[in-house]
Structure 1
Amino acid sequence: MIDFVLQKRLYGGGLNFLGKRPDLIICDDVENGQRIQSKKYREDIYKQFESAVLKLPARKGDYSVLVVGTTLHEECLLLRLENRYNAKSYNFPLVLDFGPKIDGLSPANIDGYDLDSVLLDDSSLDKKEVLMEFLQNKSAFFAEFQNTPTHSKDAILGDFATYENLPEKIDAVFMGIDPALGKDKGDFFAIACVFFCKAQMRYFASVRAYKEKPDKMIGIVLETYSHAHKICPFIKVGIEVVAFQAFFKDQLKKRALELGLSFFRPIELKNTAHKEMRIDSLAPLLADRSLVIEQFSHELVSELETYPKGAHDDCLDALEFAMRLARTRQMVDYRQIKARVKTRFGKPKKGFRL
C-alpha cells in the first residue's frame, strides 16, 4: 500500500528522487475499512491522493497510476476516480448473474434453486456457499465481492425494517404492477404485494422483479394474484398505464376472464406527480415501521439501500403503486357482513358459506 507520508519524504511533495520520477505507481487498499464512514476521512484520503500521488510521476513521458481495492463506500476513492477525465475503471464482481429468480430466495428454499442459472467469475467456487454468504449479509457481500457498496443509513429510504413471515390474519392485499418490455431492456417488470394487518395497523410488502417478456408476465401476474387471494379475499390491483402498458393491462384483464378470474379488475394508475416525489413519500412509512419489507425481496432491498443513486427503481415504483391503493382503500369487513346476514335471514343453512 502506498504510504502517503513516506511518499512525501521520498519525493518531497513532488521533487524527483535520485534524478528520476516514477512512471508506475501502484496503490493497493488505500482506505481503512473502519474509518471509511467518516466524511472527513474520505475527503482527506482524496486530497492526499491528489497532492501526494498524482504529483509524483514525470509529466514528459508516459506514466500509469494503478489503484486497486474494494469499494467500501459510495464516496470512496475508487468510485471518485471513476469520474476523472483521464481514468479508466474496471470492476470484477464475484457474481456475474444471480439467475432470473433470485427474489424470494432464502436459506429454507435454497436447495430447490436453479444453481445452473448462477454465473460466477470463478467457476471453481461452490455456488450454494456463495449464495448463502449473500443471504447472510447482503451489504457486506455487495461491498466485498460485488464492488457495489450500499450504505442504507445514508440513503433516503434506507431506514427500514424487514420481516420473514406474514401475520396469521391479513385483512387486505394491494398489488402494484410496473410493467417493462422484457429481457432486452434494462428495466425490471416489478410486482408488489402489500399485505395489511388491521390488528397491527401495519403493511407488509413483498416485491418480485423479473426480466421476462410481457406475454410470459401475464401468467406470473395472475399466479401472484391467485396466491394472494388464498391469503385474503380482498385484493385491489393497480397498474401503471403509459404507452404499451395500457395494451398490456387490457391483455392481462382478458386473460384473467378466460381463466375465470372475474374479480381481477386492475385499476389504471396515471402518474401526475414527479417520480422522486412519489417514491420519497414512502420514507415516513418505512421510518415509523408502518411499512415493513420482506427480507427476501432482494431487488427491492437493494433499491431501498441505494435510492436515489441506484441503477433501478422499478420495485420502488411498484411498491408506491400498491401503497397508493392502500391509502385510498375501501375494505370489505366479512365478519360484519356475516353478522348482518344472520340478523336478517337467521342462522345460515348447512352448506351456506361467506
Structure 2
Amino acid sequence: MLFSKDELNAFLEQSQTKYQDEGYSKADITKLTRRDFGIWLDDLKTDLKEQILSNSLLDPKGKKDRVLKAEFDFEYFARTYFPHYFSIDGACALHKDLSATFEKISSSKSGDKYAYAAPRGHAKTTYCSQLFPLWCICFNKKKFIVEISDSVELVEACLEAIKTELEDNANLKMDFPNVCGISKNWKIGEFISKNGVKLKAFGSGKRLRGIKYGVYRPDLAILDDLENDTNVRSKEQRDKLEAWLDEAVLNLGSVDGSLDVLYIGTILHTDSVLARKLKLKFWNAKKYQSIIEYPKRMDLWEEWSNIYKNVSRDASDEYYIRRKSLMDEGSVVLWQEALNILKLMQKRAENLKSFNKEQQNDPRSETQIFTKESLHFYKELPKIDYFVMYIDPAGEKKKSDYTAITVLGVDKKEAKIYIAESIVAVMKTKKTIKEIIRLHQVYKCRVLAIETNGGQEFFRGWIRDKAFDLGVKLPLKGVNNVANKGLRIEELEVPIDDGEILFHKSQTLLISQLLEYPEAKNDDAPDSLAGAYSLTKLAKNRARRRL
C-alpha cells in the first residue's frame, strides 16, 4: 500500500488549503489537487521500485516448479514474488483466512460474497487490493476486476502499486513474461495487463451500471473501506450506501452469477453497512479483533495504564517488564509479531474509543448503554420456579415488521432471571399464535402479556380463541404501554450490569440489538425483554397475594 487513508486525507487537505489560500476557484482547486496527487503518486512509486529492486533474484532453473506451485497456493505466490511486503514475520489468522478465500474464489466458477471486518494495520489492503489482483492477473483467474473504496484515490494507488510490480519486478518478469510490462491502456485508475486482464478503480457511491470491458462484465469486485468516519454517522447515508451496494455493485456481473464480491473494512459504526453485512450468513462473514483474548490480570494493566498516562512511558515500561509474565498471561493477539499485547494496550490507554473501533471492530457510541462486558451468561437452565412470556406483535403503526417474544425463567432462591427464549422474526398472525401457544405448552408460563398499543387488542382475542379451541389454559393479559420505550429499555441497565438477568450465547439478535442500542436499526428484542422483565415483578406480586 503506497499510503494510508490518514496520509491521503492529510495530503488532500494540505493541497486544497494551499490553493484556497491562493484564491483559486473550486474547479481549479480540484484540477490542481489532482495534478499534485499524480506527482505524489510518482514519488511513492519510485520508493516502491527501490524496494522491489532490493529483492534477491530467483534461480531461473526453478521457474517451472515455482509457477506450478504458485498457481494454486496464494501464500506461496505472494511471499515468493513480493517479499518486500513481508518484512514482519509470524502467522496471522486474518492472512491465512484471506488466502484460503482467494483460493476458493479462484477455483470456483460460481460467484459468491465475502465480508471481512479487519483491524487497522493488519495489511488487509495489501492482501486484498494488491496481491490478490496480481495473482488473478498472472494466472488469468479473472478477466475484469473493479476496486472500490470510499476515496477513489486509495484504490487508484493500489492499481499504481500493481502496475509498478508488473513494470519493475524482475522475478515476476522472469516467471511471467507474457504478463509483465506496459500495455496500451496504462493510466491512473485504469489499466489492461499484457495478457488482457482489466482493472478499474471507483469511488463508493459512483455510477457503475452497465460497465463493460469489451464483451466482459466484471467478475471480481473488491470493496475496500467503503465508509468513512463522517458519512457513517448519518443513517440516511448508511441506507443510501447499502442501497447502492445491493443494487449497483451486486448487479455488476454477468447473468450467469460468476461475480465474486470481496468486501473488507473496519467497522466504524454499530449500524455501518459492513456491520449489517456481517450479520448475513450468505455474505460468508468474519470479524477479527487485534486482541482475541484479554489478559487475566487486567487489574495490573489498569495500574500500568495510570502510570503510562500520568507518569511516563519509561516508568510504565519498567512496571511491565517486572510483571511481564503475569501481565501477559491469558492474552491472545491476532498478529503477535506486528502488534504484541504491550503495543495494543498502549493504543488502548491512549484512546479507548478509537481502540475499540479501529483495533477491535467494536465501535461504541457515546450514548451506548449496554456493553459486552456488562452481559452475564448461562450454559443450561437451572431449576426454575416460574416462567413469564411477553409478546410484542408487529403492527401497522409500528416502524418494525418484526414480532418479538421473550420468555424469562425466575430462580427465586438465587434471585436470578434467565432468558429462556428470545424470538424476533417476521411472522404472520397464524404463525405467531401457534408459536405463543407452543412456548406456553413448553414453559407453562405463570403469566403472559401482549402489547395492545396501536390497535392490537383484537390480537389478544384471537390468541385466546385459538388456545380455547386447543384446550390450552392461557393466563394472557393485555398491556397498553404508556411509558416511553427508551426509558423502559434503559431500566434494564442495572439488572443486566448486576447479573440479575442472564443471557444464552445463542441469543445473538437480542445481544446485538442491546449492544447497538440506542442507535440500532431495530430494538424489538430489547423492548420485548423490558416488557418480560416487568412481568417477573408482577408475577412475584401475584404469588405473594396468593400466599
Report the TM-score range of the alignment, normalised by the length of the smaller protein. Answer: 0.5 to 0.7
8 A Cα contact 1:172 1:197, kept in partner: yes
8 A Cα contact 2:16 2:29, kept in partner: no
1:79 counterpart residue number: 232
The whole-number CA distance in structure 1 between the counterparts of 2:462 and 2:30 is 75
Asked if residue 252 in structure 1 is aligned to residue 463 in structure 2, the reply is yes
The whole-number CA distance in structure 2 between the counterparts of 1:246 and 1:19 is 61
1:90 maps to which of 241, 244, 251: 241
- After TM superposition, the structure 1 = structure 2 runs for residues 58-207 of structure 1, keeping only pairs within 5 Å, are 70=225, 76-80=229-233, 89-91=240-242, 133=286, 151=364, 155-158=368-371, 160-181=374-395, 186-205=400-419, 206-207=421-422
Q: TM-score, normalised by structure 1?
A: 0.58
Gaps of 5+ in 2: 39-117, 122-149, 151-201, 206-222, 248-258, 264-279, 293-355
The whole-number CA distance in structure 2 between the counterparts of 1:3 and 1:149 is 24
1:214 maps to which of 422, 426, 429: 429
- How has the CA–CA distance of structure 1 residues 250 and 153 changed in structure 2, closer, same or farther, with 3 Å as cutoff? same
The whole-number CA distance in structure 1 between the counterparts of 2:10 and 2:365 is 33
The whole-number CA distance in structure 1 between the counterparts of 2:475 and 2:485 is 25
8 A Cα contact 2:452 2:480, kept in partner: yes
Asked if residue 13 in structure 1 is aligned to residue 18 in structure 2, the reply is yes
Report the alpha carbon displacement of residue 199 of structure 1 after superposing the two structures with TM.
3.2
2:439 counterpart residue number: 224
Asked if residue 298 in structure 1 is aligned to residue 508 in structure 2, the reply is yes
Secondary structure of the residue aligned to 1:173 is: strand
1:37-61 deviations in Å (ceiling 9; x for gaps): xxxxxxxxxxxx9xxxxxxxxxxxx
Letter in 1 for 2:483: A
Letter in 2 for 1:158: T
The whole-number CA distance in structure 2 between the counterparts of 1:19 and 1:151 is 35
1:270-318 deviations in Å (ceiling 9; x for gaps): 2131111111111111111111222222221121011111111211221
Calculate percent identity across the aligned residue pairs.
Answer: 19
Report the alpha carbon displacement of residue 260 of structure 1 after superposing the two structures with TM.
1.4
1:237-274 deviations in Å (ceiling 9; x for gaps): 11111244211111101111111112x12111121311
Q: TM-score, normalised by structure 2?
A: 0.39
8 A Cα contact 1:164 1:296, kept in partner: no
Secondary structure of the residue aligned to 2:387 is: strand
- How has the CA–CA distance of structure 1 residues 329 and 92 changed in structure 2, closer, same or farther, with 3 Å as cutoff? same
8 A Cα contact 1:152 1:304, kept in partner: no
Gaps of 5+ in 1: 27-31, 36-48, 50-63, 97-120, 338-354
1:311-337 deviations in Å (ceiling 9; x for gaps): 11211221111111111223769xxx9
8 A Cα contact 2:376 2:499, kept in partner: no
Max Rg structure: 2
Report the alpha carbon displacement of residue 34 of structure 1 after superposing the two structures with TM.
5.7
Report the alpha carbon displacement of residue 162 of structure 1 after superposing the two structures with TM.
4.2
8 A Cα contact 2:422 2:507, kept in partner: yes
Report the alpha carbon displacement of residue 89 of structure 1 after superposing the two structures with TM.
4.4
Letter in 2 for 1:312: N
Higher RCO (Cα < 8 Å, 6 or more apart): 1
Q: Which one has a larger percent helix, Structure 1 or Structure 2?
A: 2
1:3 maps to which of 2, 8, 26: 8
The whole-number CA distance in structure 1 between the counterparts of 2:535 and 2:284 is 35
The whole-number CA distance in structure 2 between the counterparts of 1:267 and 1:305 is 30
1:109-136 deviations in Å (ceiling 9; x for gaps): xxxxxxxxxxxx95999x97966847x9
Secondary structure of the residue aligned to 1:309 is: coil
- How has the CA–CA distance of structure 1 residues 69 and 78 changed in structure 2, closer, same or farther, with 3 Å as cutoff? farther
